[in-house]
Structure 1
Amino acid sequence: GTDKKLASFNCDTALWSEFRSRCTERGTTATAVLTWCIQWYLAGSLEDLATEPTPERIKALVDEYLAESLDSHLMSILSKRSL
């Protein structure tokens, strides 16, 4: 939708850089992955992140999201380019 909020937060520079690189490698964006994480958290699917956000758990969740959503995301990009 058009009702968006620009969110900013402090993050370790190296961690952010690695995260953005991983997103790019997987054909997505940091915004898409973080929005997904927020949606899952609000749905109660990421409750354990509230107490223990380990890098391994976050990586596993991001990998799971990419495995489930990357194909449809890429198809969306490709269909826009062919217009």
Structure 2
Amino acid sequence: MIKKLCNLYIRHKTKNLTRIPLFTMTFDWKKFQKDGKENSCMLYTLHPDIANDLVLRKKLCECVDYIRDNYDMETFTKI
């Protein structure tokens, strides 16, 4: 019964399994201002296979570093 409820919840949150998030990355502006780019982004993966894939994690970190180096991060803090 609990498994069925969990599956219904997952279907609801993913719009009937059409929008499944693979990872979430957050940017901490205050930490970026205080400490620089080191540890200012957090990567959250939703599946253990993705979390354990070192190549994928490295590529995602490179992507974040590229964004931080080539874009003004303050523009992302405003609507």
Tell me which protein shows more strand as a share of its residues.
Answer: 2
Shorter-chain TM-score bucket reads: 0.3 to 0.5
Q: Bigger radius of gyration, 1 or 2?
A: 2
Tell me which protein shows more helix as a share of its residues.
Answer: 1
TM-score of the aligned structures, taking structure 2 as reference length: 0.34
